[in-house]
Amino acid sequence: MVATLMRLRSLLVALPLLAMAAASVTERASSNALQAAGMGAASLSALGVAHAHPVAPPPILAPDAVLSADAVLSAVAPVAPEQPAGMLELPPESEAPVAAASADELSGVRWTVPRRMRLNEVCSHWGLWPSELRELNPELGSTDWLDEGTRLLVHREDSRRPTRSIGAPTKGRLHAGIPLPEGAHWVMREHRPHVFGARNTIEGLLTALRVYGADDAHAPPVRIGEISARYGGKLSPHVSHRSGRDVDIGYVLSEPADSGRYWRFADERNLDVARSWRLLKALIATGEVQQVFMSIRVQRLLAREAAKELSGDELAGMFDVMNRDPRRATIVRHESGHRDHMHVRFKCEDGNVRCRARSHGGL
């Protein structure tokens, strides 16, 4: 891996995610993720990823460098060292690198009040008590009404209560979850009590969504559904979504997003396959995704698009609909109920011994 990274031209640094993924990858139980990560470096050649404020940069890389998504894949791939240098395609120099999520930007997360609202309504949107909201935003004083456009702090990191995913996705909980911040390339429902995740979940999501939207002025915003509650636990009607590692993400559709339903069924008539594949690739390239649940029907459409870039073996390692080997685990797996959105499960954070990758029964 060192040799591979050193070959990268003028470059850069990686996500803290990358450092974690690279260091711990051999210990990861999820061999399917490794297969996916090891698949063709060329498949992600167009996606650039940079990191502005690395928390713990890998020692072999200089700060303020930029790492291509290819390099992210190579770094977490167990087979990367044999890869000839020529296989690494770097993004064109003119392409601006995409800033990966940084720990700094998540130490305090702000939200823009979308319309004139009562403070109590804001509290119910965010699962906060009024006293908590006022403590986060002392400038509010005793105000009961908030004007449209007001910027509020809705999360502040507290070193005494670090963010932790505890237990399994179907049984666990979350300590001091971090809300997914707002951004240009994604949307969330106005009501936000369930958009909290573990740190690697939120960092991975942010990075992938920024990669998705980079250099694509017409990319429609990705719909993000529920993640977990601020402190995790049961989240009806989901079986999982309890420990800050599960995220519901809409497919990118080619039809206008004005229908009343938040989730819309995807099929060959309305799926924007190129952009949906770009999104899936960006998620997997973070090295933090353990599993993606997606219906067979949508998988087939995306696999056809992916086949333009991946070999048959790589496809079989990624999509269960393309896999004929029952002993082989794939990163994308059918699970009913995922025709109108995919469910992305992030890995346990490196070093978090209280996190359990899976529940009994494999879910």
Measured from the CB atom, the residue of 248 and 314 that comes closer to Zn ion is: 248
Only segment of 59-67, 117-125, 184-192, 337-345 that touches Zn ion (CB under 5 A):
337-345
Q: Does residue 194 bind Zn ion (CB under 5 A)?
A: no
Provide, rounded to whole angstroms, the least separation between the CB of residue 181 and Zn ion.
20
Please give the helix or strand (H or E) that residue 153 lies within, else none.
Answer: strand 151-156
Site for Zn ion in 287-306 (CB under 5 A): none
Question: Considering only 50-58, 122-130, 243-251, 305-313, which stretch makes contact with Zn ion by CB under 5 A?
Answer: 243-251
Contact status, residue 177 vs residue 196, Cβ threshold 8 Å = yes
Range list of β-strands (E), the chain: 48-51, 66-68, 99-100, 108-112, 117-118, 145-146, 151-156, 164-166, 173-175, 178-179, 186-188, 196-197, 222-224, 246-249, 289-293, 332-333, 342-346
The β-bridge relationship of strands 332-333 and 289-293 is parallel
CB of 238 to Zn ion, least distance (A): 6
With a CB cutoff of 8 Å and minimum separation 6, the contacts of 45 are 68, 69, 70, 89, 90, 91
- Quote the CA–CA distance of 62 and 59 in Å, as a whole number: 8
Minimum distance from residue 167 beta carbon to Zn ion (Å)? 17
* C-beta closer to Zn ion: residue 51 or 343: 343
Cβ of 132: how many Cβ atoms within 10 Å?
13
Question: Helix, strand, coil % (nearest 5) of the chain?
Answer: 30, 20, 50
Q: How far is the CB of 249 from Zn ion (least distance, A)?
A: 9
Give the 3-state secondary structure of residue 197: strand
Note whether 223 binds Zn ion by CB under 5 A: no
CB of 100 to Zn ion, least distance (A): 24
Output the six-digit token pair for 303: 């696999």
**Distance (Å) of CA 54 to CA 1, 3, 66, 100:** 19, 21, 11, 9
If DSSP codes are grouped into helix, strand and coil, which group holds residue 152?
strand
Stretch that binds Zn ion, among 3-11, 144-152, 244-252, 277-285 (CB under 5 A): 244-252
Q: What SS3 state is found at 160?
A: coil
Rounded to the nearest whole angstrom, what is the least distance from the CB of residue 11 to Zn ion in the complex?
Answer: 36
Q: Which stretch binds Zn ion (CB under 5 A): 85-93, 100-108, 241-249, 263-271?
A: 241-249
Total site size for Zn ion, rule CB under 5 A: 2
Helix (H, G, I), strand (E, B) or coil at 53: coil
- Figure out which of the listed residues 155, 199, 275, 343 binds Zn ion, where binding follows CB under 5 A: 343
Q: Cβ 342 to Zn ion, closest distance in Å? A: 8
- 185 or 245, CB closer to Zn ion? 245
Task: Report the residue number, 248 or 272, with the smaller CB distance to Zn ion.
Answer: 248
CB 15 within 8 A of CB 72: yes
CB 322 within 8 A of CB 303: yes
| Choice between 203 and 248, CB closer to Zn ion | 248
Write down the least CB distance from residue 209 to Zn ion, Å: 17
Specify the residue, 28 or 343, whose C-beta has the smaller distance to Zn ion: 343
- Identity of the residue, 274 or 363, whose beta carbon is nearer to Zn ion in the bound complex: 363
Q: Which stretch binds Zn ion (CB under 5 A): 53-61, 195-203, 319-327, 342-350?
A: 342-350
Residue 102, SS3?
coil
Structure tokens at 70: 């290819």
Q: Which stretch binds Zn ion (CB under 5 A): 165-173, 193-201, 265-273, 343-351?
A: 343-351
The two three-digit tokens of residue 358, written as one number: 């899976």
CA 107 to chain CA mean position, Å: 18
* 246 or 349: CB nearest Zn ion: 246
Q: Does 248 bind Zn ion (CB under 5 A)?
A: yes
Residue whose CB is nearest to Zn ion in the complex, by number: 343
**In angstroms, what is the minimal distance from the CB of 343 to Zn ion?**
4
Between residue 38 and residue 67, which ones bind Zn ion under the rule CB under 5 A?
A: none
Residue among 354, 344, 186 at smallest CA distance from 275: 186
Residues forming the site for Zn ion (CB under 5 A):
248, 343
